[in-house]
Structure formats: C-alpha cells, structure tokens
A and B are shown apart, each in its own frame.
Chain A
Amino acid sequence: MEAIGRTEHNELERNERAWVRAAQRGDARAMEQLFRRHWAHAHRAALLVVGDAAAAEDIAQEAFLAAVRALDRFDRQRPFGPWLHRIVVNRAIDWSRARAVRRELAHDEAGEPFVHERGEAGHARELAHALSELGPGQRAVIVLRYLLEYTPGEIAELLDLPRGTVNSRLRRGLDRLEEALREELR
C-alpha cells in the first residue's frame, strides 16, 4: 500500500509540474487544474486558523492571486503546494494576531461564522471551536500537520521555526484539544 501511495504521490507531483509549466505558457486550463487541486485544502486550512469564514475566503483567494502574480518567477523544480500553503498559513496567522491585538468592532463578531451542521459534522464543529481556544501559531502547526500532512521538519521550514518548537506545539496542542473537546462533549 505504501508503495502504491508513493507512486500516486509521484504521479501527482509530475502532473503538478506539468500544470505549472503549462500555466506559465498561458494555458488557462492548467491554471484551473492547479486551482482545483489546491483550493479546498488552502481554504480549509485558512478557515481552521482564522475561524472566520469571510477572512478565510479572502486569505485563500489572495494566496492564489499571489501565485498568479509570481507564476513566471516560480521555480518549476519545486512543488507548488508547500509554496502556496506557506502563504496561506502565514497570512492566516498574521490576520489572527492582528485581530487579537487591535480594536475590533462589534460588527466583526457578526461576520460569517463557520457553516455549522448537525450530525457527523457536529464533532468537527466542536473541534473547530476547541481549535479556536489555541493561539494562532499553535493552530497553524496543528493544521499543517494533520490537515496538510507535513512532517514536523517541513513545518519548521514553512513557518521558520525551530523543530523543537514545532514538536512541543504539536504535543501541547493535542493535549489542549483533547481537554477542550472533553469539556464540550461532556
């Protein structure tokens, strides 16, 4: 299974490099392939870090616009995903920190919240709420590790953090999530 997974992964990377090359040449369909492949994760990652639907949409969209602007300078040898995710997550952290330290107005609280659903999504909602109790840096590490599947070493590189910090944030983050979820589901 592992070997098959690795083959698929390599195939995806090859496709992605081909899409980047084609998009650099002006092929709009290749650009759309890149967008469709990465949008859902970029959007969900932003949403989980900022906890605000409108801001998450803006952050993910802005990351893709940055990708379009930098497309001609993009190194085709590098994978597209980590480059995009670095923009998304760092912007999401910045947005969360800025909101926390500056005066925010009451209307902000009336911004579009998560789309809450009953049933199976209920637990995900509880998790999102529990995540919101963590600091933005900690949320980002959790999202990069468990949603986007980066290794702690890769996360350290993406966020420009020491690897030990990433590991401790992951451990503490999981502990706090467990604690918060236990409280909420009680």
Chain B
Amino acid sequence: MTERAVRQLLERTPVDREVEGRAWEVVRAAYAAREPVPRRPRLRLAVGVALAGAALAAAVLSPPGRAVVDAVRRSVGLEHAQPALFRLPAPGRLLVSGPGGAWLVAGDGSMRRLGAYRQAAWSPHGLFVVGATGDELTALDPSGRIHWQLARPGVRFPRWGGSLTDTRVAYLSGGRLHVVAGDGTGDARACGEPAAGRVAPAWRPGPRHVLAFVTARGRVTVLDTDTCTLLWRSAPYAPRPRLMTWSPDGSRLAVATAGGLWLVDGRTGAALGVSMPGIRALGYARDGRLAAIRRRSLVLVEPDGRTRTLFAGPAPLAGLAWSPNGRWLLTSMPAADQWVFVGAHRVLPVSNIRTQFGGPASLDGWAPGA
C-alpha cells in the first residue's frame, strides 16, 4: 500500500462537524475563566526575585533549610498541636485524597491507603468509595477491594448518590458530565446536557436520582437523570459557581461563587444571596446546619443568611467535613500543615499532615461506621 494512499484515506476519515462547535464552547469558557499571569517584572526586580527564589529553594532543599520551613509552618499554625493524628474526636471514618492518594482514617486513627486516587467520594451510606485518577474511575470498598473500573479521559469530581439499593455515580470526563450506575453499568453522558463547568456535581439526597451540576456557561442545572427531565436551570451566575451542596432533606442547594453564597430553593431554583466572598468549602451537617470556610474563618450560615463565626485561624483554611454526629467540624490549614478539629468547646489541631498522607490531603467526607 502506498504512503500516498494512506495519507488520502486518513484525511477522508469522517468526523462529526458539530463536535467542533461544542468543543469550542467549552474551550472558550475555560479561556474566559482563566486568570492571566501578571506580566514579567523588569530585569532588576527579576534578578532580585530570582536570587531570593534561589535562596529559598536552597533552604527548602537542604535539611537545615527544611527545618526552617517547618519552623515557619509551626509558627503559622496553632500551638499545642498533636504531632500526628492519633484518633478522631468523634466516631466515624474519614476519607481524604490528594497527590499522595486516597486514604481512609478510622476512628482509632489507623490509616489505610486505598490507592493513587487524587479525588475520592463516599457512596451515600459509606459502604463504598469512588476514586478518580486522571483517566480512570474506580469503585472500591473500604478494604480497598476494587469492584469495577472505567477508563475515561480526564476523570474529575466523582460523586456517588442514590438509595441503599439503587445508586448512581456522576463525574466529569473531558468537560462532559457522565452518569454510571453504582454497579458500573450504563455509563453515559448525562441526558445530552451541555458541557459542564469545573465544579463537582451534587446528588440531591433521596431515592430519585436528581443531580445538580454547573454548565460551562455557569448555569446551575438540576435534572432527573433517570427520566432525563430538566427540573430547572438557572440563569448564568457571574462570577461562576465554584461549589455546590444539597441540604440533607433536599430542599435547598447551597451554591458558592467568588462573590458570595446563594441559598437556592431546590424545587424552583429561586435564590437568596448572601454577601460572603471568598468561600472555599461548604458542607451541611446531617441535622441541616450549613457551615462554610471563608478565608481564615469557619462560619455557620443560618437559613436566613445570617452567619456566626465558629473558629478563626491564623492562616487561610481549606476543606470542611462534619462528623457524622454533628458535634465536630474538621478543616485544614495548609500553610501550617495542620488539620483543625473544631468542637463546641474545644479546638484540636493536628500537625504534619503532609508527612502522614504523602502530600496535602483534601477532606472528602466523614462517614458513619467503625
């Protein structure tokens, strides 16, 4: 066969022209949302920065330098922190994930690495875990036994919802929302919906498989994934949503944007805005209390939008997990390499998180059970 013939045939391979339009919409949205790096500083400043950077790099790379960095972290963080996580202050099992993989922490502080999953989530009743690596979605049980795997490009934000007997996993793959049954069957793009923004989808609690997700244009969309019925779709949010979470009774959806928090009626999409810029994490307790991380503060948000600060740290906070009994909240202080358990009357800091989990660890949920 001649090379020319192959060339001609490859060029004629039919492709769907509509795909280009869809893809451009996604790429355009990502481009519009990007924040350009500031222009390069002038030479003198650049030299100064380079020298300072080199000194810092040398300090970080040498053992004495690392000690200095650790000392800085200690000085940023809370005093009297435990040097390691010995036990959880409330019953349950904690799921965390990050560059060091996904880990389960039992109530007695024992830890099990589940695998190299950079993102993970619990199933609705804490019986299974779904993990995502770059090109793979994996369902496994807490012992680490793999039940099924799907190879998909660019897997992100897996979320597991449904009832005890009938569950679904939603995730993003290459900018598209996918839904697969809890047994790994029936994987498909969700109802032909438009491209999804880079926000974790959220299952409404309950037996119906109702999912909220954000489109690439910043519209919050709620659909019944079994019947492909669109329940409501918001106008585009500006700034775009970053986080979403449902109240335990499914009546409200909390949506955080860079500008603030929106408490949305789950049935109609009507929204109450709360001026609270800088939200980095959101979470409902089982009894319906909503907590949010805002810069250095952990706050409770009342249904009418009023807020009450529960804890303010010396450095920015990230991530949030309620204990199953609702008595403790866990957040992290990455600059200090600490976790902070916040209870009604006590604050328990724990240090050396990166060492224990092989890197920074995001808080994916605190599920009931031993």
Contacts and interface: CB of A to CB of B under 8 A. Distances in A.
Nearest to B27: A64
Given A59-B174, A128-B13, A105 B184 contact: yes
Report which residue of B36, B154, B184 has the largest number of chain A beta carbons within 10 angstroms of its beta carbon.
B154
Contacts of B346: none
B14 A116 contact: yes
B187 A105 contact: yes
Contact of B15 (A44, A68, A106): A44
Nearest to B188: A107
A40 B45 CA distance: 43
A69 B152 contact: no
A61 B175 contact: yes
Q: Interface residue tally of chain A, by bracket?
A: 35 or more
Contacts of A36: 24
Given A115-B14, A146-B3, A62 B153 contact: yes
B151 interface: yes
Interface string A60-82: 11101100110111000000000
B223 to A, nearest CB: 19
B10 A143 contact: yes
B61 interface: no
Interface in A12-48: 23-26, 28, 31-32, 35-36, 39-40, 43-44, 47-48
A24 B39 CA distance: 10
A171 to B, nearest CB: 11
Contacts of A69: 30, 34
Contact of B36 (A24, A58, A60): A24
A150 interface: no
A36 B6 CA distance: 24
Contacts of A47: 13, 15
A127 B9 contact: yes
Q: Interface residue tally of chain B, by bracket?
A: 35 or more
Contacts of B37: 72-73
A53 B16 contact: yes
A90 to B, nearest CB: 11
A60 B14 contact: no
Contacts of B267: none
B38 to A, nearest CB: 9
Contact of B26 (A61, A95, A99): A61
B14 A114 contact: yes
B352 to A, nearest CB: 31
Contact of B28 (A25, A26, A31, A178): A31
Interface string A96-114: 0011001111111000001
Interface in B1-47: 1, 3, 6-7, 9-16, 19-20, 22-24, 26-28, 30-32, 34, 36-37
B173 interface: yes
B136 interface: yes
A19 B230 CA distance: 39
A104 B151 contact: yes
B135 A98 contact: yes
Contact of A103 (B12, B148, B189): B148
Given A31-B28, A94-B135, A105-B185, A62 B174 contact: yes
13 contacts: A31-B31, A32-B28, A35-B27, A36-B24, A43-B23, A57-B19, A61-B27, A61-B174, A68-B34, A94-B135, A106-B185, A123-B12, A127-B13
Interface of A: 23-26, 28, 31-32, 35-36, 39-40, 43-44, 47-48, 53-62, 64-65, 68-69, 71-73, 91, 94-95, 98-99, 102-108, 114-117, 120-121, 123-125, 127-128, 142-143, 146-147, 174, 177-178, 181
